[in-house]
């Protein structure tokens, strides 16, 4: 028998495929001597679908048998009728036509199914030990609504009943070993074995990245803002004719200027000449490094420095092509030649694959020249997973959002976090656009710059992918999920999937209730969630770190301590440690634990422990249920009936929490989820002991700017870290270029360079420039694209741009552009209240005072009442820049320090020394109180 490894699996969706239980699988030959994976091929494998019953006592068996026989009878009648209709239709067609062959295949499949219905549709079992048994209804991939309607409630018919899940479990997806039977009728045999870690770590991986030109969306709203409506209509109709667009002129009756502008933009954007200019394919260990490009740099190969080491230069071969269509054809051929197993790229699952296919329609780099497969799309395309069929994709961009504590998920940020390498891009996005335009006009130096940039970006992706490969292998095996799904799926969902699959392996069935919807009562600290009673929480809303902090806050002060402080970044994983012996019964989970303890990289340990902590959330959730029985807990997790496991785990939890209370008491500077910033005088010996037990991972020591709870920035070994503070380069939120630049410079001066004086002087200087009108208008203009129609926002939404959208009746896709006057900007940036808000605040205070007096009179029984016209409290901003500056100072409102900060925001640099002096006095008093 030939040994093959599985990397892709998808049940067929056609009626013939479903009736014959066919699964499309990609199998790679595994060389027994070298361990090489080669000659991948798509095969059709038969995998029976199994619908289990709940774990039930013997007395319910009659109901199960009766329900199954009824279901079988109805299915037989339905498909007998379907066969008759198909044969009638078949008799009306001429032989040799495509339709005739399709119906012939369909009739044969139905006939075979009906002839063998006793084998193809049967009830297997019972399975299990003791008085609780389960049965399996074995069926082809029939319609789920038929099962929901005809099978009784003893069968599990919810979303766990999935042919894809069953196929993955039976085949050992994604790394199952399959034996090809060469004698007899052939076919494939599942071995319940997985491809070894050693083989998978050493298989070939390549990184792919595309460069495009004219990718920005066409915008004409600003340019044509003052154009008369008649002229806009004429422009729109001319474009409709020029590009042969389908348009009903009756629609002109209700169109206004906004509709014309949107229509002009849509036509121009649809017909813009967006194109691929380069594709970089990099595999540093094999030396297969290529640039396929339409740009001419005058060379057949270039030398590119490996990021982080300018002395290590690698040759990258250049393949010249005429256009993007030839580029993709060459790329398809190159992938068929290289045959990589792993494919790396930054944001490839959402962007690169989709872009290459949409622009050319011929992107076929999957195994056997297959096109990319859209596996998941949700939230209007915001969440998307597109994979290469048969290959294993690793995308660090979404992976960093789930398993790393980065302030953004950009390529260079992830590279520094994973490998500790700082390597800035050789071109900015704006420079890349300019250089590409020059290169397309024949400038060879510009072409070289673009190609060097492209190759180095792919090198970064390859280096990150190779570093993350092993942990993806470990997690994929444990979770029965492809690496791409690990990257893009929430940890809570993967946790639920793990325990559903665990149930099948250990109990031959699925949980009787959906895990994600289970509820428990936790006490007064629980917020009421949707569809829950008071003090109730669902597993979907349950968070292990929230549970932990809720129980230690009586003994540990978790309030943030503002200011710049030396500290230690520690990430806590208490429950992965508590349930270690329970989880390690799974060999694949045990490997993750072993790697977490063996690795010398604290960040890799943290990434692995986050997976384990998320899996431990479900047993913790059950443990936290106040009235759960001891036998119920032990039976659910197959712990046996000999010991008191419920009390044992509760004792472990108490012991672990006591250890962590000792560590945290008096040492907490700030926290953000599992990340704790502890003071630098924390007991290092205790910290080392707890780390050796797996309770935590010490990421590093450094200097931190601590703000409100959950918000801090720091410098760990010259790496900038930030949590709870929005990335200053992000387009989210309401921030102009002036604001972003001030954020970045202040954090750089205070956190990275450790010079508060320079930071405060810089703020004073920029505030003075703003006050004197010396800041360029474009730096103070707010621009954003509307993500929704103006009337789709929640009634309570307070963002400034939402009220502007309502005034202008902005629709989704329109460009919003607005400015603030100086007084409003001083309030927005620095919290200096506008005169209008001062007057409103004065009125509100008078109203509030009168209201309280009236309530007091009513309580005392005095017959004194007068009508009050309600006055709402004005919305006064704290000031975005002031909030950041005050993270360092920690001054209270209306204090002397707050008064000095207001003078600083007026451009007065002379108060800097006084501010620093006040801060030092405040810190000294805080330290004495702590002692």
DSSP 694-712: TSEEEEEEEEEEE-STT-E
**45 token code pair:** 């494998």
Cis upstream peptide for 174 (omega within 30°): yes
What confidence tier does 524 reach under pLDDT thresholds 50, 70, 90? Answer: low
pLDDT at residue 451 above 80? yes
DSSP at 153: T
- Looking at per-residue confidence, does 875 or 174 come out higher? 174
Average pLDDT across the chain, whole number: 90
User: Over the stretch 714-761, which tens digit does the pLDDT of each residue have?
Assistant: 999 889 999 998 888 777 778 888 999 998 999 999 998 888 899 999
DSSP string covering 56-100: B-GGGHHHHHHHHHHHHHHHHHHHHHHHHHHHHHHHTS-TTSHHH
Helices (H), 480-532: 483-488, 491-507
The pLDDT-based confidence of 428 (bands split at 50, 70, 90) is: confident
The rounded distance, in Å, linking the Cα atoms of 275 and 298 is: 21
Verify that 258 and 282 share a domain, yes or no: no
**Co-location of 573 and 633 in the same domain:** yes
Summarised one tens digit per residue, pLDDT across range 782-800 is 888 787 887 777 766 767 7
Residue 155 and residue 124 in one domain: yes
Distance, CA of 865 to CA of 849 (rounded, Å): 14
Considering the domain boundaries, does residue 599 fall inside one? yes
Closest CA to 46 of 13, 76, 12, 1: 12
Q: pLDDT tier at 658 (50, 70, 90 boundaries)?
A: very high
CATH number at residue 477: 3.30.420.10
Q: How confident is the model at residue 250, as a pLDDT?
A: 84
Window from 174-183, 373-382, 522-531 with minimum mean pLDDT: 522-531
Question: What percentage of the chain reaches a pLDDT higher than 90?
Answer: 63
For residue 854, what pLDDT band results from cuts at 50, 70 and 90? confident
Residue 207 predicted with pLDDT over 90: yes
- Co-location of 428 and 542 in the same domain: no
Task: Tell which residue, 174, 175, 165, 136, has the closest CA to residue 497.
Answer: 165
Q: How confident is the model at residue 62 (pLDDT cuts 50, 70, 90)?
A: confident
The answer to whether position 876 is within a domain reads no
Residue 369 in tokens: 């020249």
- The answer to whether residue 529 is domain-embedded is yes
Instruction: Determine if residue 416 is left, alpha or beta; phi over 0 gives left, psi from -120 to 50 gives alpha, anything else beta.
Output: alpha
Confidence (pLDDT) at 799: 73
Q: Assess if residue 711 is contained within a domain.
A: yes
Does residue 381 register a pLDDT over 60?
no
112 and 143 assigned to the same domain: yes
Residues 385 and 405 in one domain: yes
Residues 305 and 378 in one domain: yes
Count of domains in the chain? 4
Q: Which residues of 449-460 are buried (b: 16+ CB within 10 A; e: fewer)?
A: bbbbbbbbbbbb
Please determine, for residue 612, whether its predicted confidence score (pLDDT) is greater than 90.
Answer: yes
- State how far the Cα of 493 lies from the Cα of 165, in Å rounded to an integer: 14
Q: Which of 673, 689, 723 is the last residue of a domain?
A: 723
Residue 383 and residue 243 in one domain: no
* Spatial CA neighbour of 569 closest among 417, 411, 443, 430: 417
Which has more confidence, 163 or 272? 163
The mean per-residue pLDDT over the stretch 329-340 comes to: 97
pLDDT at residue 928 is higher than 80: no
Q: Which pLDDT band holds residue 1 (cuts at 50, 70, 90)?
A: low
What span, in angstroms and rounded, lies between the C-alpha atoms of 348 and 277?
17
Q: Which residue has the tokens 């508060």?
A: 756
Over range 635-651, report the average pLDDT.
Answer: 89
pLDDT on residue 533: 67
Q: What's the pLDDT at 87?
A: 93
Q: Is 250 exposed, middle or buried (0-12, 13-18, 19+ CB in 10 A)?
A: exposed
Same domain, yes or no: 160 and 94: yes
Assigned domain for 821 exists:
no
Identify the pLDDT of residue 852: 80
Helices (H) and strands (E) in the chain, counts: 33, 27
Hey, which residues does 43 pair with through a beta bridge? Answer: 25
Residue 750 lies inside a defined structural domain of this protein:
no
The dihedral built from the CA positions of residue 500, 501, 502 and 507, taken in this order, carries a sign that is positive
Instruction: Note whether residue 844 is domain-resident.
Output: no
Q: What is the pLDDT of residue 32?
A: 83
Nearest alpha-carbon partner for 236 in 225, 247, 226: 247
Domain that holds residue 173: 1-200
543 and 669 inside one domain = yes
Domain-ending residue, one of 723, 747, 765: 723
Q: What is the pLDDT of residue 859?
A: 65
The pTM of the whole model exceeds 0.85: yes
Residue 880 lies in a domain: no
Residue 380: per-residue pLDDT: 55
Whether residues 253 and 281 share a domain: the answer is no
557 and 453 belong to one structural domain: no
The predicted pLDDT at position 860 comes to: 58
Alpha-carbon distance of 395 to 483, in angstroms, equals: 8
List, in order, residues 6 or more apart from 930 with CB less than 8 Å away.
Answer: 666
pLDDT at 930: 64
């Amino acid at each position: 028998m030939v040994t093959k490894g599985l990397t892709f699996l998808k049940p067929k969706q056609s009626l013939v495929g479903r009736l014959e239980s066919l699964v499309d699988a990609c199998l790679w030959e595994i060389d027994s001597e070298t361990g090489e994976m080669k000659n991948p091929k798509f095969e059709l494998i038969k995998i029976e679908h199994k619908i289990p019953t709940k774990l039930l006592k013997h007395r319910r068996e009659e109901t199960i048998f009766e329900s199954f026989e009824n279901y079988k009878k109805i299915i037989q009648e339905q498909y007998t009728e379907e066969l008759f209709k198909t044969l009638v239709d078949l008799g009306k067609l001429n032989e040799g036509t495509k339709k005739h062959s399709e119906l012939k295949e369909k009739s044969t499949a139905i006939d075979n199914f009906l002839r063998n219905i006793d084998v193809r549709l049967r009830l297997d079992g019972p399975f299990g030990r003791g008085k609780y048994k389960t049965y399996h209804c074995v069926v082809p991939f029939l319609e789920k609504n038929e099962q929901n309607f005809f099978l009784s409630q003893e069968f599990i018919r919810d979303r766990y009943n999935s042919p894809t899940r069953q196929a993955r479990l039976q085949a050992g997806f994604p790394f199952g070993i399959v034996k090809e039977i060469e004698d007899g009728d052939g076919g494939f045999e599942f071995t319940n074995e997985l491809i070894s870690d050693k083989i998978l770590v050493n298989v070939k991986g390549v990184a792919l990245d595309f460069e495009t030109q004219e990718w920005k969306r066409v915008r004409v709203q600003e340019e044509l803002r003052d154009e008369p409506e008649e002229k806009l209509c004429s422009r729109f109709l001319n474009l409709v004719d020029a590009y042969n667009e389908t348009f009903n002129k009756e629609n002109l009756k209700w169109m206004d200027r906004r509709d014309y502008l949107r229509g002009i933009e849509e036509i121009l954007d649809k017909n813009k000449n967006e194109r691929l200019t380069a594709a970089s394919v990099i595999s540093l260990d094999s030396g297969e490094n290529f640039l396929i490009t339409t740009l001419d740099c005058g060379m057949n190969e270039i030398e590119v420095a490996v990021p982080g080491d300018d002395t290590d230069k690698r040759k990258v071969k250049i393949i010249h092509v005429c256009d993007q269509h030839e580029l993709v054809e060459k790329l398809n051929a190159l992938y068929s030649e290289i045959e990589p197993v792993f494919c790396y790229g930054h944001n490839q699952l959402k962007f690169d694959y989709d872009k290459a296919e949409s622009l050319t329609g011929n992107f076929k780099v999957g195994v056997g020249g297959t096109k990319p497969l859209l596996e998941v799309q949700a939230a209007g395309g915001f969440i998307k997973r597109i994979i290469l069929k048969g290959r294993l994709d690793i995308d660090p961009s979404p992976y960093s959002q789930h398993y790393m504590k980065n302030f953004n998920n950009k390529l260079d940020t992830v590279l520094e976090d994973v490998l500790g390498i700082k390597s800035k891009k050789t071109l900015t996005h704006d420079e890349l656009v300019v250089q590409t335009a020059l290169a397309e006009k024949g400038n060879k130096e510009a072409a070289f710059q673009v190609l060097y940039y492209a190759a180095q970006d792919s090198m970064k992706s390859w280096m990150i992918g190779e570093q993350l490969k092993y942990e993806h292998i470990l997690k994929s095996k444990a979770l029965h999920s492809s690496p791409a799904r690990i990257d893009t799926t929430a940890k809570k969902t993967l946790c639920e999937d793990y325990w559903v699959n665990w149930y099948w392996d250990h109990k031959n069935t699925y949980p009787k209730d959906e895990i994600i919807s289970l509820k428990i009562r936790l006490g007064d600290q629980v917020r009421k969630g949707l569809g829950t009673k008071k003090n109730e929480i669902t597993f979907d809303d349950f968070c292990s770190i929230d549970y932990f902090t809720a129980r230690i806050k009586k003994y540990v002060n978790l309030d943030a301590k503002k200011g710049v402080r030396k500290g230690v970044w520690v990430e806590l994983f208490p429950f992965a440690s508590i349930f270690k012996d329970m989880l390690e019964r799974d060999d694949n989970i045990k490997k993750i634990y072993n790697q977490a303890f063996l690795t010398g990289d604290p960040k890799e340990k943290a990434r692995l422990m986050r997976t384990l902590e998320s899996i431990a959330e479900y047993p913790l959730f059950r443990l936290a249920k106040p009235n759960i029985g001891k036998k119920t807990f032990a039976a659910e997790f197959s712990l046996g009936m000999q010991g008191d496991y419920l009390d044992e785990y509760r004792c472990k939890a108490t012991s672990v929490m006591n250890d962590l209370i000792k560590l945290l008491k008096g040492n907490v500077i700030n926290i953000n989820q599992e990340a704790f910033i502890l003071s630098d005088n924390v007991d290092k010996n205790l910290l080392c002991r707890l780390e050796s037990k797996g309770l935590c991972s010490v990421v590093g020591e450094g200097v931190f700017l601590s703000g409100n709870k959950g918000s801090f920035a720091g410098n760990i070994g010259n790496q900038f870290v930030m949590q709870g503070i929005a990335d200053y380069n992000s387009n989210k939120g309401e921030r102009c270029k002036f604001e972003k630049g001030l954020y970045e410079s202040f954090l750089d001066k205070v956190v990275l360079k450790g010079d508060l004086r320079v930071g405060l002087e810089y703020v004073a200087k920029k505030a003075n420039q703003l006050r004197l009108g010396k800041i360029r208008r474009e730096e103070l203009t707010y621009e954003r694209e509307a993500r929704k129609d103006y009337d789709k926002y929640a009634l309570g939404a307070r963002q400034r741009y939402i009220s502007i959208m309502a005034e202008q009746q902005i629709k989704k896709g329109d460009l919003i552009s607005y400015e603030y006057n100086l007084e409003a900007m001083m309030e927005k940036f620095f919290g200096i209240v506008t005169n209008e808000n001062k007057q409103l605040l004065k009125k509100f205070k008078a109203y509030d005072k009168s209201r309280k007096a009236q309530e007091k009179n009513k309580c005392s029984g005095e017959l004194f009442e007068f009508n009050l016209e309600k006055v709402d409290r004005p919305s006064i901003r704290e000031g975005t820049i002031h909030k950041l500056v005050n993270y360092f100072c920690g001054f209270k409102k209306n204090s002397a320090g707050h008064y000095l900060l207001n003078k600083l925001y007026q451009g007065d640099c002379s108060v800097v020394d006084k501010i620093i002096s006040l801060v030092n006095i405040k810190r000294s008093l805080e330290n004495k109180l702590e002692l």
